[in-house]
Structure 1
Amino acid sequence: MIKRTFGMAALVIACAGAATALPAGSARAAEASVKCDLVYNLSGWSLIYKHAEGSGTITCDNGQRANVKIAVVGGGLTAGKYHIDNGKGEISKVHDIADVYGDYAQAGAEAGVVKSGSAQVLTKGTTSLALSGTGEGVNLGVSIGKFTISKR
């Protein structure tokens, strides 16, 4: 009887310890967040319809890296032609580089002649993409659309 009681007590203590350890481990995994940086070149045009294409490189702080294609499409009251060289992007709230691929919602106002500049924050679910860049061209207007990152 003493052996059985001692054995049950040990089992209960072991299970309680495991149950306490599991949620904490799961919480740490859910909180894990990787930050990725995007360096890109983009050129496009707009006349009511907005279209731009480019390429870039994503580098994450967990060591992952990928070459990517970028496409921007949308519409609105816009007109212009422009290019951005060596633009920068910061992607946050991802667990893996695979989370950066897909369509980000985009809305923006552009204004520039000869030297163009842009800065905007895009979202895809809980993932955020903050973009900034300077270039040349003429672009004027307000538009909405999508910014797509795909594997190259």
Structure 2
Amino acid sequence: MIKRNHALAALLLATAGAMGAIGAQAAEASVKCDLTYSLSGWSILYKHAEGAGMVTCDNGQSAHVKITVVGGGLTAGKYHVDNGKGEISKVHSIDEVFGSYAQAGAEAGVVKSGTAQVLTKGTTSLALAGTGEGVNLGISVGKFTITRE
């Protein structure tokens, strides 16, 4: 019985150590990446936009990227964003930047318009800001996808 209790205690300690390592690894997600991009799109109930950009991380990694935005809602318009900027936080490397981020927003703009929003993908956050031109009006939800070019 005593040997069984020691074995169980050893197993619990090993499991706790592994869980601590996982928690420490998540806490170490301290790489910050910046996104610069241009984007153009349209919406009539369905929202679609495409663009390109560059991701540069403070650990020296960088990549040219393709951006796709799709979604739906009560929207109408046509627009483009030039010299958009994004800040991506809570990643271990550039590989965690790629994928789809949840997006929801309200848009209103005529001729010159601006946008600022925060998107999420798990624990990763993407804060976007940009200015552009076009006409857009409505409320939409969708996804903002970043893929390696």
TM-score category of the 2 structures, normalised to the smaller one = 0.7 to 0.9
Q: Distance in 2 between matches of 1:30 and 1:41?
A: 31
Partner of 1:88: 85
How is 1:49-60 mapped onto 2 (pairs within 5 angstroms)? 49-60=46-57
Whole-Å separation in 2 of the counterparts to 1:28 and 1:106: 29
Q: Shift in Å at residue 29 of structure 1?
A: 4.3
Q: What's the counterpart of residue 69 of structure 1?
A: 66
Q: How does 1:1-152 map to 2 (within 5 A)?
A: 26=21, 29-32=25-28, 33-152=30-149
| TM-score of the superposed pair, with normalisation by structure 1 | 0.82
Give SS of 1:148's match: strand
When the two chains are superposed, the root-mean-square deviation of aligned CA atoms in Å is 1.6
What TM-score, normalized to structure 2?
Answer: 0.83
Q: Please say which structure displays the higher CA radius of gyration.
A: 1
3-state DSSP class of the match of 1:98?
helix
Deviations, residues 97-124 of structure 1 (Å, cap 9, x unaligned): 0000000000000000000111100000
Q: Relative to structure 2, which stretch is displaced further, 28-37 or 112-121?
A: 28-37
Aligned amino acid, residue 112 of structure 1: G
How far off is 1:72 after superposition? 0.2
Displacement after TM superposition at 1:30 (Å): 3.8
**Equivalent-residue separation in structure 1 for 2:137 and 2:25 (angstroms):** 44
After TM superposition, where is structure 1 displaced by more than 3 Å over at least 4 residues in a row?
Answer: 25-30
Q: Equivalents in 1 of 2:102, 2:108: separation in Å?
A: 20
Unaligned runs of 5+ in 1: 1-18
Question: Which stretches in structure 2 are left out of the alignment for 5+ residues?
Answer: 1-13
For residues 81 and 26 of structure 2, the distance between their equivalents in structure 1, rounded to whole angstroms, comes to 36
2-structure distance, mates of 1:29, 1:136: 42
| Number of positions where the alignment pairs a residue of Structure 1 with one of Structure 2 | 131
